[in-house]
Amino acid sequence: MVSKKRSTLFKTVTGTITTALLASSLAFSGASAQTTNYEFGSQDFTIAFKSQSVPSDFNAFMNSLGAKVETELNSIGVVQVEVAGNPTKFLKSTLSHKEVLTVTPSIEMPLDLPDVEAEEMGTVGTAMPELPTLAKEDSIWGTSYQWDIQRVTNNGASHEISSGSKDTVVAVIDSGFDLNHPDLVDNIVPGSKTFVPGTTDAMDYNSHGTHVAGTIGANGRMKGIAPEVGLRAYRVFGATGGAQQIWITNAILAAADDDVDVINMSLGGFRTNGQWNYIDPTTGERIKLGGDSADIVAYNRAIRYAVNKGVTVVAAAGNDAQDLSNPAKLTDWYNGYLRSLGYTQYDIQGATINVPAGIPGVISVSATGGGFGTEDRLAFFSNYGNGKIDLAAPGGDVGPDYPTTGKRVAGDHVFLVLSTIPTYIGQSSTAVKAFGEGGYGWKAGTSMATPQVSGVAAAYIDHVFKTTGKKPSPKQVQTHLQQTAEDIGKKGYDAYYGHGLVNAYNALTK
């Protein structure tokens, strides 16, 4: 066994939850689990300093410990380092440094998507409306394929008021874009970047980022929420869907420095803000790593940096079907999840939150399911929680009976969110048959709901700027979107939908 484990793209939400809960029921026995043949690999650690700068002597200090500094974020006082072999000596020495606030193992953030991408899969249940088969020259916009965008824009009425412009730019921190996609290319502004080591551009080899971008600002056969808005890719995921938290915070800082107006993060994971403990598997020695999570410190500082520069930050609430308002229960869940990934040398006490959606200053988005006139409901995978959700948006699912019966609605792609995908990777034969060409596909998740809120934010910011010559602050944007949201579910604020379903037309007319 090695001490450094990489998480992979979640295949099913329900499977992940089951694995984690089973793992959390096992008694942790790290202190007594001593071995003589333990095989150590290498592991990354995130270090946060007491001040928001990196001490000038720290690189030399790391070199003296045999650690390699991989990423340095001097504007927020955070670094990531790689340590080979048993990290006990490194941890003790680093924690004794007078400028170090806390040290936390760097754990990959997965692209957390439910397994409901529409393909030729056997389905059961009630048949849904027949959808048209289109020729290549036919517009997809205006058909019922884009039920989600139609819902949020009042059937495109908001486009007539504000469809955005290149004066307003949305940074999509994700897996990159198909930079030449015909529905996106005219809206992509210069300056896309990659933060994934070993890559040289922001091209998307996963499909997630391109899908998100299309929902925000597609302008071709499909239409996004704000089809004239500027788009820029900040790539933090590789093709297999894993990202280091330091890449994400680095991208947040870069986007803020690039003067974007909105940051969309259709990503997330759990982190515990409390006591992390490392148990040396060869001796059983327990080492306290600090009273804060370095990841949460980094996110707090990076988000505050962006908001102070006038950036509205929007993030997914997550697809784990968890109540985010119960941090103690989440800690038990998260401990089990870490062990399921192989991080058996750690245990944690404290309050667990979803990041970055749970960081102050971020608009947290849950997902609704349904479409075609069906009743609004929380998507079966969506996280929720009193005080933890700000807004909701359509995210798709496969029917209200799926969680309890496993039955998918026949023609289940009509419940999912259609958007752009790269033209150069594997295509959905369902989409090719429907549209006469590739470049389009269906997904579901809070990842798909989040860009709808970002698109509305961009359209509103651009409208205010064109009207007044001044852009609203992030707080003003959030407040306005909440006040103009469509109240669904329980009257007033509720744990499932927050202040309600985001509505572009209301945001531009009220």
Question: Do the Cβ atoms of 394 and 449 come closer than 8 Å?
Answer: yes
Q: What is the dihedral of CA 170, 175, 181, 184, to 10 degrees?
A: -10
- Give the pLDDT confidence score for residue 2 in this predicted structure: 30
- Pairing assessment for the beta strands 286-288 and 269-279 based on DSSP bridges: antiparallel
Q: Is 226 part of any domain? A: yes
- Rounded to whole angstroms, the Cα distance separating 294 from 124 reads 46
- Pairing assessment for the beta strands 362-369 and 391-394 based on DSSP bridges: parallel
Domain, as residue range, for 149: 144-266+361-509
- Rounded to whole angstroms, the Cα distance separating 77 from 58 reads 11
- Rounded to whole angstroms, the Cα distance separating 399 from 200 reads 41
Length of the chain as a residue count: 510
Q: Is 195 part of any domain? A: yes
- Give the pLDDT confidence score for residue 9 in this predicted structure: 26
What number of other Cβ atoms are within 10 A of residue 380's Cβ? Answer: 22
DSSP 323-373: BTT-HHHHHHHHHHHHHHHT-TTEEEEEEEEEETTTSTTEEEEEEEE--TT
Task: Give bridge partners of residue 359 from the DSSP assignment.
Answer: none
- Give the pLDDT confidence score for residue 137 in this predicted structure: 93
What's the CA angle centered on 33, arms 28 and 38, to 5 degrees? 125
Q: Is 319 part of any domain? A: no
Q: Is 247 part of any domain? A: yes
Residues 467-487 as b/e (b if ≥16 CB within 10 A, e otherwise) read eeeebbebeebbebbbebbbe
Q: Is 150 part of any domain? A: yes
What number of other Cβ atoms are within 10 A of residue 295's Cβ? Answer: 29
- Give the pLDDT confidence score for residue 28 in this predicted structure: 26
CATH of the domain at 236: 3.40.50.200
- Rounded to whole angstroms, the Cα distance separating 288 from 279 reads 9
φ, ψ (nearest 5 deg) of residue 495: -75, -20
Q: Is 480 part of any domain? A: yes
Question: Do the Cβ atoms of 333 and 21 come closer than 8 Å?
Answer: yes
How many structural domains does the chain have? 1
- Give the pLDDT confidence score for residue 508 in this predicted structure: 98
Rg (CA), the chain: 23
- Residue 379 corresponds to which amino acid? A
Question: Do the Cβ atoms of 402 and 464 come closer than 8 Å?
Answer: no
Active-site positions read: 174, 208, 447
Q: Is 311 part of any domain? A: no
- Rounded to whole angstroms, the Cα distance separating 299 from 221 reads 37
Report residues of the chain scoring pLDDT below 70: 1-38, 112, 114-130, 370-374, 398-414
Measure Cα distances from 371 to 396, 407, 428, 484, 485 in Å. 8, 17, 21, 21, 18
